Amino acid sequence: MGSTKESQRRVGPLLMALLAVVLAGTAMVGVLRRGEPPAPAPADDPADPGPRLSSTRVVGRSRGNREFELRAGSIVDEGEWVRLEAIEDGVLYRDGEPQVTFAARSGRWHRASNDLVLTGHVVLVYDGRVELVSERLEWRAADDLVVSPGPVDVTTGSELISAGAMEADLDAERVRFYSGVRIERSAGGWAEVPEMMYWLEDGRLEGYGPGRAVFIRSGP
């Protein structure tokens, strides 16, 4: 009996923590502070998952403005970070309007900074017309940046852009590809350059540094 009572006493605080996370995840997370550098994301520990919730919607806000929202198959409270699994219906907002949609196998959200780290077949779509695929994407809320520190593929409709890394400034609607860039055109031909800039609004491309290209002539 003593052991049972002791277990009940330990379970009580855990249930209270779960309830607190439910309220934060299903309503609004509240106003979050910018500018606080996030602590390193903790590594996954399958043996100690911590408090876990299922089918929860998370909304990130800053200064009263909605910055992102997403639905997660489950979330795990890890202190400064919240682990997210089976992410879908994700949206990044600009001036209150949806700008980017995304999905990923998993991710982490930093409470204080509103930063998101998405991992595992991350698919991001800008304005319904530009699709980005990577194994890891980072949303740096304070700078309005989407960063892929590793390989990334972007389909624009007429081009497939592959690069070793990428940094997208959503406020300026400008994407920088670097660490080796290859562009393949649907009409034929390709080009390779060390670095390239892509403007989201008008689809303009600019390559920088020495490169090479093959152009396929269409028609007779």
Give the whole-angstrom CA distance, residue 24 versus residue 13.
17
Q: List per-residue pLDDT tens for the chain, 220 residues long.
A: 444 444 444 434 333 333 333 333 333 333 333 334 444 554 444 444 444 455 688 888 877 788 889 999 998 989 899 999 999 999 998 888 898 999 999 999 998 888 999 999 999 999 888 999 999 999 998 898 999 999 999 999 889 999 999 999 988 999 999 999 999 998 889 999 999 999 998 889 999 999 898 876 665 5
- List the chain domain ranges: 1-35+50-123, 150-220
| Exposed/middle/buried for residue 43 (C-beta within 10 Å: 0-12, 13-18, 19+) | exposed
The alpha carbon of 188 is separated from its chain's Cα centroid by a whole number of angstroms, namely 31
Give the whole-angstrom CA distance, residue 89 versus residue 82.
18
pTM: 0.71
